[in-house]
Amino acid sequence: MNRIEYPEGDKTVCVAIREISDRKHAERNLRISEEKFSKAFRAGPDAIVISTLDDGRILDVNYNFIRMTGFARGESVGRTSVDLGIWLNPKERDQMVELVKRDGEVRDLEVRFSLKSGEVRNFQMSAHTIELEGATCLISILRDVTERRALEEQLRQAQKMEAVGRLAGGVAHDFNNLLVGILGYSELLKKKVPPGDLQRMTEEINSAAIRARDLTSRLLALSRRQVLQPRVLDFNALVRQTESSLCPVIGEDIHVEMRLDSAAGSVKADPAQLEQVVLNLALNAREAMPMAARWQWKLATSR
């Protein structure tokens, strides 16, 4: 505002008015936007890093970056990701930068980072370019997916095992049908042939078919396709029968010694299911056994 004096002595005040509502509104929106970004940056559930695009110099990190990587803010800000050794393979960062320069962003990029502790974890990375004080920078969002990838791998393995179990069950079912005929004809031959070598050979065929039938019963039990047939069993006798199956399964480096309680008595159960229980216990014991002590394994049963 200025005062103007004319020669005649008149005094006039000249006032200039500029409308700044839009500017104030823009400043207010910018302030709100910065507050929202600051809150999202500090309290976001993922690790967030702001860094220069070309050399990867870290400008700021949020709390979850500190929690996930173990690097304190003072250790990170001002240093590059190469200085910290975060990238397990530094060439992967160069490839990521090329993608960002080409497309302006990357989404859900799978990377492996080395934490301060030396532990290697799998991260899912999304990054976008931003302009800060005239420099092109990168804001990166990192999500730890190590446990999720491990669970996915377990699920894939379980699905494979289920498929193998179904295949084994189908083969065992068809094979069991063939064994019915073999067992039937071998029983008829035992009654018709005279005593001697031929009868002994027939008995061997019959015995082998019975063992094969027991094996298919185990496969059917494993694939859950067997109809349960519980009956009263001598538990000790059943455990002794499993010895021939245990040795090849648990390995030649483990010695199997049976110590059975004579007072164990009888149990009513499906024999194939019970054999599977004994086999699972033996396998679990083998996995829990230290390598130095795997020369001996003792199976004991009691009431």
Assess whether pLDDT exceeds 70 at residue 228: no
pLDDT tens-digit map of 50-85: 888 888 888 888 888 888 888 988 888 889 888 888
**Residue 48's beta-bridge partner residues?**
141
pLDDT tens-digit map of 179-191: 778 888 788 787 7
Are the CB atoms for 254 and 218 separated by under 8 Å?
no
Q: Give this prediction's pTM.
A: 0.49
Where does the pLDDT of residue 123 fall: very low under 50, low under 70, confident under 90, or very high at 90 and above? very high
User: In the chain, what are the domains?
Assistant: 29-144 (3.30.450.20), 228-303 (3.30.565.10)
Mean pLDDT of the 22-35 span? 61
d(CA 249, CA 299): 14
Q: Identify the pLDDT of residue 297.
A: 42
